[in-house]
């Protein structure tokens, strides 16, 4: 692509072309307005996450040790944490609910079996 | 460029957009890079949609009108092969480091070049729709939000500032301190017992730890000063998780990874502030405790989220 072709307003320069991958990734992966497309790919999906972890996780530990925790106040990151928190809370509730259901249906199931057992004995 | 010049171009653009329907629908998906504003004239100019887009797509990116006709909002989109962009294929490709990098760079390039002619709202990597109509329909529901974001970022750019603890300076300081301490510690130890005592050794270890902590605190304080100074010039700021040693190199810990939304006409002030901080930090000691790295201007990726949703 010829860059001169598309710069009628040269002042509004595009991002640095030599930008390093980490800079680009942290912008294109989860910044920008998220619109639910037809192809559902969660960019924080497991496979991708492994790559993200390679980029960032060690620094989280290092940073914690160094007393840097200010990204935790970054609403973009903390809202994600909050979302995950909410999701896992929902899941826990759902599991509890299902366990209850399973428990009560086991009770139901037991009763006829007992009855049958009683019937057979007679 | 006069309006007369644009007339044929506009017809051509309209033809591409309406001439979609297409034979190969089903084999392609529609990928959207960004949403931008601009009148018909701007949108019709050849440069408005001229960006490379994905290299594995048959056609070039184009502008897809959003909302009511004449709304002045356009999606910068491209039809991409379903074989490579459908869910499963995409999942596999994005898990591959090389493919991910290529896609991220192409996406970034498309977003950035769209911004050459005015403000844009960048959309995340791989925002995909089954076809142009679906893209148009879905995005058109967000017209108000896009407008709010465009207003927010118009005439503004994102600058990234990273601060690293200067490991070389720290190593020098550590060596100097060690030499110092070693000398005095040994002297003291020699004075009292004639040999290096256990308590002298512990003293030395403790004081080395104290020094390390002090240097770390100094570097963090410098980083905070940088952030404060630039924040004062900025419309908005975000701090990100610092990059890990895989990226920065083991001996160059990153202690600030921030992005600032700056009015374009404050760019000079920003550069001056950075220069003066660099000079100031360098003046404080033989070697500055920190290194500052600036990159930009970026399309304001980091500042579009709160624009309309708040």
Parallel, antiparallel, or unpaired: how do β-strands B73-81 and B62-65 relate? antiparallel
Residues B134, B254, single domain; the answer is no
How many Cα neighbours within 13 Å face the side chain of B47?
17
Residues B228, B269, single domain; the answer is yes
Q: Tell me which residue of B66, B13, B60 sits closest to B35, measured CA to CA.
A: B66
Total domains in chain B come to 2
d(CA B189, CA B192): 5
Q: Where are the domains of chain A?
A: 17-68, 73-122
State how far Cα B227 lies from the chain centre: 16
Task: Chain A: give the shortest CA distance to residue B127, in Å.
Answer: 6
Would you state the pLDDT for residue A81?
Answer: 55
Q: Looking at per-residue confidence, does B196 or B271 come out higher? A: B271
B87 contact A CB<8A:
yes
Residues B14, B38, single domain; the answer is yes
pLDDT in tens, A15-44: 444 457 778 888 887 666 677 777 776 665
Residues B266, B300, single domain; the answer is yes
Mean pLDDT for the stretch of residues B37-63? 75
Residues B129, B165, single domain; the answer is no
Residues B131, B205, single domain; the answer is no
CB-CB: which of A16, A56, A74 is closest to B295?
A: A16
Residues B174, B128, single domain; the answer is no
B239 contact A CB<8A:
yes
B154 contact A CB<8A:
no
Residues B127, B221, single domain; the answer is no
B263 contact A CB<8A:
no
Residues whose CB is less than 8 angstroms from the CB of residue B75 and which lie 6 or more positions away in sequence, other chains included:
B32, B34, B35, B63, B64, B66, B135, B136, B139
Residues B167, B305, single domain; the answer is yes
pLDDT in tens, B151-190: 999 999 999 999 988 766 666 666 666 666 555 545 554 4
Residues B194, B148, single domain; the answer is no
Residues B190, B293, single domain; the answer is yes
What's the mean per-residue pLDDT of chain A?
Answer: 58
| Residues in A touching B100 (Cβ below 8 Å) | 25, 48, 51
Q: B153, B172, B199: which is the final residue of a domain? A: B153
Would you state the pLDDT for residue B91?
Answer: 81
pLDDT in tens, A48-106: 555 555 555 444 555 555 555 544 444 444 445 556 666 777 888 888 888 888 877 75
**Alpha-helical regions (H) of chain B:** 3-18, 40-44, 82-85, 87-95, 97-114, 132-140, 143-153, 167-192, 198-231, 245-248, 267-284, 306-309
Q: Tell me which residue of A92, A69, A29, A21 sits closest to B240, measured CA to CA.
A: A69
Note down the domain range covering B208.
Answer: 159-309
B6 contact A CB<8A:
no
Would you state the pLDDT for residue B142?
Answer: 92
Kindly provide the ipTM of the predicted complex, given to two decimals. Answer: 0.75
Residues B20, B145, single domain; the answer is yes
């Amino acid at each position: 692509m010829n860059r001169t072709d598309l710069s009628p307003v040269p002042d509004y320069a595009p991002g640095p072309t030599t930008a390093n991958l980490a800079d680009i990734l942290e912008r294109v992966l989860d910044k920008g307005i998220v619109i639910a497309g037809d192809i559902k790919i969660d960019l924080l999906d497991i496979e991708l996450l492994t790559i993200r972890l390679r980029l960032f996780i060690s620094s989280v530990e290092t940073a914690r040790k160094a007393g840097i925790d200010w990204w935790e106040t970054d609403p973009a990151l903390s809202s994600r944490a909050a979302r995950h928190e909410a999701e896992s809370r929902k899941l826990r509730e759902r599991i509890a609910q299902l366990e209850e259901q399973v428990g009560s249906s086991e009770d139901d199931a037991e009763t006829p079996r007992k009855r049958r057992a009683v019937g057979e004995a007679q | 460029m006069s309006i007369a010049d644009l007339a044929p171009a506009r017809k051509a653009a309209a033809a591409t957009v309406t001439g979609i329907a297409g034979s190969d629908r089903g084999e392609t998906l529609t990928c959207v890079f960004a949403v931008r504003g601009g009148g018909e004239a701007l949108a019709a100019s050849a440069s408005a949609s001229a960006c490379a887009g994905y290299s594995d797509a048959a056609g070039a990116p184009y502008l897809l009108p959003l909302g009511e006709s004449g709304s002045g909002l356009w999606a910068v989109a491209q039809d991409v092969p379903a074989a490579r962009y459908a869910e499963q294929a995409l999942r596999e490709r994005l898990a591959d480091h090389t493919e991910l990098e290529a896609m991220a760079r192409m996406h970034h390039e498309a977003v950035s070049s769209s911004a050459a002619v005015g403000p844009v709202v960048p959309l995340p990597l791989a925002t995909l729709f089954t076809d142009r109509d679906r893209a148009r329909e879905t995005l058109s529901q967000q017209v108000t939000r896009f407008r709010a974001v465009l207003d927010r970022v118009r005439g503004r750019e994102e600058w990234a500032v990273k601060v690293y603890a200067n490991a070389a300076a720290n190593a020098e300081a550590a060596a100097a301190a060690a030499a110092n301490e070693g000398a005095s510690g040994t002297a003291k130890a020699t004075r009292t017992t004639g040999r290096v005592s256990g308590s002298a050794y512990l003293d030395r270890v403790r004081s080395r730890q104290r020094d390390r902590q002090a240097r770390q605190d100094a570097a963090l304080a410098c980083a905070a000063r940088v952030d404060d100074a630039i924040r004062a010039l900025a419309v908005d700021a975000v701090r990100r998780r610092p990059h890990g040693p895989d990226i920065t190199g083991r001996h160059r810990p990153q202690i600030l990874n921030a992005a600032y939304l700056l009015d374009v006409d404050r760019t000079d002030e920003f550069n001056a502030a950075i220069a003066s901080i660099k000079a100031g930090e360098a003046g404080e000691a033989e070697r500055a405790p920190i290194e500052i790295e600036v990159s930009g201007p970026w399309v304001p990726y980091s500042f579009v989220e709160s624009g309309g949703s708040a």
